[in-house]
Amino acid sequence: MMKVLIALIFLYVHLCAQSSVWKISDKDNHAIYIAGTIHVLRSGDFPLPKEFDEAYKRSEYVVFETDLALANSQTLQRTLAQKMMLPPNRNLSAVLSAKTYAKLKDYVNKQGYKIEMFDRMRPWAVILTLSQLKLSSIGIDQNGVDGYYNRRSLADRLPQRYLESIEEQSAIITEIGKGEEDAVILQTLRDMDAFPSMMEWMVKEWREGKTERLKRELVDEMRNSSPEMYRIILKQRNEAWMPKLIALLHEEKRGFVLVGAMHLLGRDGLLEQFRKQGYKVEYFEKGK
């Protein structure tokens, strides 16, 4: 089973890259810059790799997965909070196996919480809540690369565009672990202890543009052990995004596209899809 907690933080080439930013272009020199991001970071992870700022400065608009202002709105948070809850007269112990529920109860008790805090939540909501609590405990800010450029582009009055609506993204979140609830809860619990060290190597290799381990331990593991989650979170969204990205690429203006790093690579990743359709994919270089 995939490392669920890590996959949430990133919601693939076979060689080490020179950066986490690529230039996609056609034969007429129309181009966009596309960067793989980590959605949450620690304050010590800034400043970002210089390639990000260089690509941003050469762009005339910024593209995010979704509208972050709406994602953080109170209206959406209330709507999502309602979807987090199980139907009346049903609780988590009726959804999970007795063994999984007991392990979850033991974990939350050791963290100083009560199982009653989670009892009415759907399994995907339990995973998200546990993830947020863990991130907070090790000093990870909820605003990563995307949040940084959202604030910066607003301050610079640089136009923003989006690959999917906030409703579409919310619908994807609610599908996490559907049909494999016990497996994703158990894997999340196993990931908790190893998470701080995993975060260290992930951020280090992402900053250096080394994607092979990220591809192997995150993307490939998700595809092999949780094909339905892989389809919903990565493959299906990449397929929906490609026509939009190609349309942007053919404009005269150049855009800076920011998507979670797991979306970029591998056989169903965006970079491979661009290559298959005849576009030039190269590492971003200053001045190009």
Q: Per-residue pLDDT tens for 54-88? A: 999 999 999 999 998 887 777 677 777 888 999 98
Task: Say how many domains are in the chain.
Answer: 1
Residue 104 lies in a domain: no
CA distance 179 to 162: 30
Which pLDDT value is given to residue 18? 47
Residue 108 lies in a domain: no
Residue 59 lies in a domain: yes
From the list 233, 232, 219, 221, the residue with the least C-alpha distance to 272 is 219
Is the model's pLDDT at 121 over the cut of 60?
yes
Q: What is the pTM of this model?
A: 0.86
Cβ-based neighbour number of residue 73 at 10 Å: 13
Cα 171 to the chain's mean position, in Å?
Answer: 15
Residue 113 lies in a domain: no
Residue 178 lies in a domain: yes
Q: Give 288's pLDDT tier (boundaries 50, 70, 90).
A: low
Which pLDDT value is given to residue 205? 83
In sequence order, the 6+-apart residues with CB closer than 8 A to the CB of 70 are: 76, 166
From the list 117, 114, 123, 116, the residue with the least C-alpha distance to 95 is 123
Helices 98-110 and 181-208: angle between axes, nearest 10 degrees: 50
Domain limits for position 152? 4-85+121-283
Q: 70, 174 in Cβ contact below 8 A?
A: no
Q: Which of 39-43, 82-86, 276-280 reaches the highest mean pLDDT?
A: 276-280
**Mean model confidence pLDDT for the chain:** 86
**DSSP string for residues in 128-191:** HHHHHHHHHHTTEES--HHHHHHHHHHHTT--EEESS-HHHHHHHHTTTTTT-HHHHHHHHHHH
Name the 3-class secondary structure at 218. Answer: helix
- Cα–Cα distances (Å) from 155 to 37, 51, 159, in that order, read 20, 20, 11
Residue 111 lies in a domain: no
Is the model's pLDDT at 13 over the cut of 50?
no
Is the model's pLDDT at 172 over the cut of 90?
no
Q: Which of 17-26, 178-187, 221-230 reaches the highest mean pLDDT?
A: 178-187
Measure the CA dihedral 151/162/257/174, to 10°.
90
Strands (E), the chain: 21-25, 31-37, 41-42, 61-64, 140-141, 160-162, 255-260, 280-283
Residue 96 lies in a domain: no
Residue 103 lies in a domain: no
Mean pLDDT lowest for which of 39-48, 96-105, 125-134, 137-146?
A: 137-146
